[in-house]
Structure 1
Amino acid sequence: MVEDVTLARRGEQVVGTLHLTPHHIIFSAIPPQPDNVHAQGTPIRPKEIWITYPIIAFCTFRPTPAVSRQPSSIRLRCRDFNFVCFYFSNESKARDVYESIKSWTCKIGRVDRLYAFTFQPPPPEQKFNGWELYDAGKELARQGVDRDGHGWRISQMNSDYGFSPTYPALFAVPTSISDNTLNYAGRYRSRVRIPVLTYLHPVNNCSITRSSQPLVGFRGNRSIQDEKLLAAIFGTTRSERPLANVTPPNLEHETSTSTQNELSGSQSWPDVTNAEELEAELVSSFDEETQGRPHIYGAQQHNLIVDARPTVNALAMQAVGLGSENMDNYRFATKVYLGIDNIHVMRDSLNKVIETLKDSDLTPLGPNRDQLAKSGWLKHIAGILDGAGLIARQVGLQHSHVLIHCSDGWDRTSQLSALSQLCLDPYYRTLEGFMVLVEKDWLSFGHMFRHRAGHLNSDKWFQIENERIGGDAGRSFGESGGAGKAIENAFLSAKGFFNRDNASRDSLGDSDGELRDYDSDSPNAKKPSPTPRTVVTEKEITKPKETSPVFHQFLDATYQLLYQYPFRFEFNERFLRRLLYHLYSCQYGTFLFNSEKERMEIKAKERTRSVWDYFLARRELFTNPKYDPEIDDNKRGKERLIFPRVDEVRWWSEAFGRSDAEMNGGRMSSNLQPKSRETSETEHTPVLTGLESANHAIGSGVPAARSPSPPKKTTEVTSGISSLSLSSNKDNNGDRESMSQMEVELQ
């Protein structure tokens, strides 16, 4: 505990006490009282700010300069976009606090030492068990799987996670496809993430399936089992189901060595463990001469294979045995490239947003909206929404099947799959339905929350200014490194890859992988281990290059839909904001792991609480009063389907701890009314960057989703200084609102 610490936030300062516990930083201060308030003998209770260590995104310690009388300070940037600065009169105490914060943040080393494993819920939450909210079998049954004539069955071949460690224990596949066929098909998809069902439309029985990228390579490898599986999926709505029992085109006369090896089960596929990282490296040096080609737009009227990546990224991956489907072998579908960038581009985009907000602890001035526009964040959100809208139209209006994949099928794929289902199914727009959607398409299908959210933090996010020790003193608050350094690292990684045995993912040397646990045991291994290692290791650290705001983008895109259709969602904006906070708080076990298998191995359901307990116990706080549950497809405004209007994408200002006027130029939420059905369907901004079928392959690798027009630059400086708001010490269970949320409540 350190006395006489000054907290600075939004240009305001208050003096109080700083208390460090094993899981939280707690700042306590007596709030200033108005002059006209007279003491009534009742002691004034202090107000508190609680900051959980995993939510710290960047920490800078600045010792007292030798030639200055400025006090020592510690500046924190939090992942919920709160920025605070602590000033100390004693430099030695400031250094002790900095080292303690760094130690409790970075030296934890294991997931089961996070706060979720010691958190005791308050009484309102104890009567709930959010872990029981989602049951894969029940949700598939709700969609109509296993009913007679629907053409789908539930496979239990992954019940021990031995087939695909990152996939759920139960998944649905066509009834005409045997588990033996799935075993062979798994060899053709990265990480054995084969095409399986995630959504079956209750009206037309069309499906959304998801997978990882195929292992095509520059030799054009193919798999008869993968082609039969996709043909069966796309043929489930046909009563005769002819595609499920025929050999795909040209395979009867295929005599190449690669095909014969494949049929015999001896094909050696590359050991692929780091597709997103590899994609970034290859694209950085790939000749993007296709950028000058005209964009190809338009919705299709047939079954689609949706590759979420830019065209050039998918083509570059073929050089190392990966890539995208050769549509000569999938004549029953058309392929589109959506041009959604990878995790590294998204992380850099968010960092640019943070650069405009990083001085929020020292100044009350609003962000530079020109710099916000240059970050590209809204362009990325618009592109994701447009891709989801395309999928929803294809399934809901064109009565077609859609397969979605990106590289590994757990980042961009999860975004598109979940958002398109939000557009298609009103159930997922209810409070419980949205929880089921997150459980299914994010937690069960293996999004890497532990890596993307950086729960175990990194020493690289801590620095000491004005000293030779502790890192680069020239880095500004919140910076993650210059562009030149990033390019240098990319070329070094690529050089290491191409100078070694390309069949092994260990050949990437020092490059940061998506999930290093999946590497083969031998550096010269030619094929992946049949049971990749996913057990949480004894000592772990976060690699900054593995982090990315993928789930944040999904919540942001959901906010856009909620804003555009305020009567179609049972939950409110605050629900999304609190969910974003608890993604990083590590108070609950829901978002701590990379797969269903990891949660089972560490017994998360027995040892931690579900984040859904928090929301269910406070349901009234997260319910949208405007929600209209009635569905009437014949009445405008009450349609079953909704579609995003990408030209109306806006800043989710509340999530960034800012006012609507500061980030959106003064437009208030209540001013925008939902557009008519005709308007929403005609003002669609296509996102396709390329179309490919058996007969043609045209398009550009440049993302075509255009960003909404940046708001006009305001010439007025926001008047008034936001008052510093601190939370009340409600209880001792550690359940504290983020500072931005508390400010809204107290106001």
Structure 2
Amino acid sequence: MYSILEDGYTLFGPEVEFTKLLASEEWRISHVNRTYSVCSSYSSVLVVPKSIDDDTVVASANFREGGRFPILSYKHDNGTVLLRSSQPLLNGSNRRCKADEKILNSVLGPYKKGYIIDMRSSTYVNNCKSKGGGTEPDGHYNQWKKVFKPLDKISKCDGSVLEHLSKLIDACSETNSTSDKWLSRCSNWMTHIQNALNAACLVAQCLDKDGASVLVHGSSGLDATLIVTSIAQVILNPDCRTVRGLQALIEREWLQSGHPFHTRHLKFCFYNSKTKGVQPTFLIFLDCIHQLHQQFPCSFEFKTDMLILIFEHSYFSQFGTFLANCERERVDIELFRKTTSLWSYLNRPDVLTSLLNPTYEPNRFPIWPSVAPVSLQLWNDLYLRWIVDQQQQRRAALKVQKLVQHAKDLRSKAAKLRKQLQDQLKEYQVVVLEAKECDDDD
């Protein structure tokens, strides 16, 4: 047992996360979803443009699959915003929703253009149209340019991603397999990582380089959309590369946004369970962060050990953070009263110390990764941890930690010596001045 120093369930509410934003004249808190009747998968507290009333929000929600109307994910330093939603429900025609258009256009400045980045291929979009879905008609969203960045297999959640991960795990277990077999089994999973990073980089580039706001969505907005919006923030926002920032990102983009953890994690992802709805979406997100960590190891406050710990607790945990599919379900089962948050445990000093990156140097700039296949690395610490002995790597990491601490101690000692030297110089100058005054008196 351990004492709870802070309640992880209350650390990252919208009122806290968007404090600076809400102080402006552009955004406000809305409680229109307090009974979860507008959107069952969104949280009860939402941040919406101040110029948008609740009736407009409801009308837009009725136009989007599952009620997932365009909602704020992130506001960049240059004023551009990142939104996410689900697909529009066109019902086989170019059905229009002026309320939805109003919400999107409200985040754009005069004569500004934005991007709608659809996580599906045009073929998949056409398939969705036949079922009542689709994508925004260009004629009704003329301030927005549409870009297709397909992550179809992730968006469909048809079991193929889980199958690819299962093949990777099998390959990691077969130490006698041929090179061709190894590469063929690993390539599909690594392709998912590459495509997700590529899409996130595009979103980040639109926000940072082009100075344009972005709406991201696929079909339901529960899988590929959340991966891309989350990784784009890790690329752009240095706060997301800290311990607290990562926790806040997971709360904001995954838990409060209604990623169905119970459904997706019903069976452990290392086994191809063939269970409907099971998919390692969250693992793709964590693996993408691992890739960024490998390329920018000094830009993250935490070690990849923290990512592995979060991954494990998302499947098997004595904490309640990843239980249920959405906030509504967590409220129904009184989860916040009956369980403890994982963040309450991780943020304890005795636990947190072992997860901190000793080489961390705060980097306030975006980190632009290479997404070339040669730049991506298999996550050995996770996928090969039962195959490859990690002791040597851990000893090396411990040695690095000791060297970094030794360097800090030396810098501290040098600072003290400099101060002592300055004090002695001042004393010397006083003595010289007094001696000179004595000579003048003589």
TM norm structure 2: 0.81
Unaligned segments of structure 2, at least 5 residues: 398-442
The code of the aligned residue for 1:646 comes to V
Closer, same or farther: CA 242–357 of 1 in aligned 2, 3 Å: closer
The code of the aligned residue for 2:358 comes to P
Residues 290-330 of structure 1, C-alpha deviation per residue, up to 9 Å, x if partnerless?
xxxxxxxxxxxx51101112221111110011111121221
Q: Using the TM superposition, give the Cα deviation of residue 586 of structure 1 relative to its aligned residue in structure 2, in angstroms.
A: 2.8
| Contact kept in structure 2, 1:654 and 1:660, CA below 8 Å | no
Listed as ranges, the matches of 1:158-557 within 5 Å are: 158-201=33-76, 203-233=77-107, 235=108, 238=109, 241=110, 302-340=113-151, 341-342=153-154, 343-344=157-158, 345-358=160-173, 365=175, 368-375=178-185, 376-454=188-266, 544-557=275-288
- Report SS of the residue matched to 1:589: coil
The code of the aligned residue for 2:359 comes to K
Q: Using the TM superposition, give the Cα deviation of residue 657 of structure 1 relative to its aligned residue in structure 2, in angstroms.
A: 3.0
- Report SS of the residue matched to 1:335: strand
Listed as ranges, the matches of 1:575-724 within 5 Å are: 575-617=306-348, 618-629=351-362, 631=364, 640-647=365-372, 648-658=375-385
- Report SS of the residue matched to 1:126: coil
| Contact kept in structure 1, 2:173 and 2:387, CA below 8 Å | no
Unaligned segments of structure 1, at least 5 residues: 1-121, 244-301, 360-364, 462-476, 482-543, 632-639, 671-747
The code of the aligned residue for 1:208 comes to L
- Report SS of the residue matched to 1:180: helix
RMSD: 2.5
| Contact kept in structure 1, 2:115 and 2:146, CA below 8 Å | yes
Match for residue 11 of structure 2 among 129, 133, 152: 133
- The residue aligned with 1:713 is none
| Contact kept in structure 2, 1:355 and 1:479, CA below 8 Å | no
Q: Using the TM superposition, give the Cα deviation of residue 661 of structure 1 relative to its aligned residue in structure 2, in angstroms.
A: 7.9
Closer, same or farther: CA 373–198 of 1 in aligned 2, 3 Å: same
TM norm structure 1: 0.49
The code of the aligned residue for 1:575 comes to M
Closer, same or farther: CA 159–479 of 1 in aligned 2, 3 Å: closer
Instruction: Give the whole-Å Cα distance in 2 for the aligned partners of 1:437 and 1:478.
Output: 28
Residues 40-99 of structure 1, C-alpha deviation per residue, up to 9 Å, x if partnerless?
xxxxxxxxxxxxxxxxxxxxxxxxxxxxxxxxxxxxxxxxxxxxxxxxxxxxxxxxxxxx
Closer, same or farther: CA 547–227 of 1 in aligned 2, 3 Å: same
Instruction: Give the whole-Å Cα distance in 1 for the aligned partners of 2:273 and 2:332.
Output: 34
| Contact kept in structure 1, 2:83 and 2:215, CA below 8 Å | yes
Instruction: Give the whole-Å Cα distance in 2 for the aligned partners of 1:165 and 1:369.
Output: 47
Closer, same or farther: CA 630–409 of 1 in aligned 2, 3 Å: closer
Q: Using the TM superposition, give the Cα deviation of residue 398 of structure 1 relative to its aligned residue in structure 2, in angstroms.
A: 1.2
| Contact kept in structure 1, 2:64 and 2:88, CA below 8 Å | yes
**RCO (CA 8 Å, sep 6+): is it higher in 1 or 2?**
1
| Contact kept in structure 2, 1:305 and 1:403, CA below 8 Å | yes
| Contact kept in structure 2, 1:196 and 1:210, CA below 8 Å | yes
- The residue aligned with 2:29 is 154
Q: Percent identity?
A: 30
Closer, same or farther: CA 600–645 of 1 in aligned 2, 3 Å: same
Query: How many equivalent pairs are there?
Result: 383
Q: Using the TM superposition, give the Cα deviation of residue 658 of structure 1 relative to its aligned residue in structure 2, in angstroms.
A: 3.9
Q: Using the TM superposition, give the Cα deviation of residue 333 of structure 1 relative to its aligned residue in structure 2, in angstroms.
A: 1.1
Closer, same or farther: CA 232–167 of 1 in aligned 2, 3 Å: same
Instruction: Give the whole-Å Cα distance in 2 for the aligned partners of 1:138 and 1:173.
Output: 15
The code of the aligned residue for 2:75 comes to L
Q: Which protein is richer in strand relative to its size?
A: 1
Closer, same or farther: CA 438–367 of 1 in aligned 2, 3 Å: farther
| Contact kept in structure 2, 1:314 and 1:324, CA below 8 Å | yes
Q: Which protein is richer in helix relative to its size?
A: 2
Residues 157-216 of structure 1, C-alpha deviation per residue, up to 9 Å, x if partnerless?
112222111111122222222211121111110011100111111x21110001000012
Instruction: Give the whole-Å Cα distance in 2 for the aligned partners of 1:217 and 1:591.
Output: 34
| Contact kept in structure 2, 1:418 and 1:437, CA below 8 Å | yes
